Amino acid sequence: MDLKPFINLSLGAMSLFFIDAAIVGSAIARSDTQRSINREGKAHSAPDQPARPLNDTATWVTLQDYPTETWHQGTTRYRLLIAPTGRVARCEVTEPSGSQRLDEATCRNLVRRARFHPATNSQGEAIKGSYEGIMRWYIPD
């Protein structure tokens, strides 16, 4: 698990917000072209390579991204569907934070900023993939 450092967002003299972008697990890549031929001429499955972040995951959500109209805190779990181009094709909230604004801010910023090395099949061709992670939004005591 790759945990990124906290990002501090200061709103006014007394308010500090922390956004913790924790990326969990590895990406999942699926393909219909996962078969190759071994030395005996029999087909067998070869592993795909998952999509991997191309840019720094700490830049996916910036200090300016905390929805100032809400004081909610929460954790949004998400799945990004990655196109063969490496761009985010879709963001799905897999476990909501309890605040629609935080969930929307998570996906809005990930779609806008996250970039990937695309998933590849056993022949090295770019394919669709997915990437899962967690965005923690909270206000410290």
In the chain, domain spans: 20-138
CATH code of the region 20-138: 3.30.1150
Global model pTM greater than 0.75:
no
Write down the pLDDT at residue 44. 46
SS (H, E, C) the chain: CEECCCEEEEECCCEEEEEEEEECCCCEECCCCCEEECCCCCEEECCCECCEECCCHHHCCCHHHCCCCCCCCEEEEEEEEECCCCEEEEEEEEECCCCHHHHHHHHHHHHHHCEEECEECCCCCEECEEEEEEEEEECCC
Write down the pLDDT at residue 15. 34
Write down the pLDDT at residue 111. 97
Write down the pLDDT at residue 46. 52
Q: Along the 141 residues of the chain, how does pLDDT read in single tens digits? A: 443 333 333 333 333 344 454 444 333 333 333 444 445 555 544 558 999 999 999 999 877 888 888 778 899 999 999 999 999 999 999 999 999 999 999 999 999 999 999 999 988 999 999 999 999 988 766
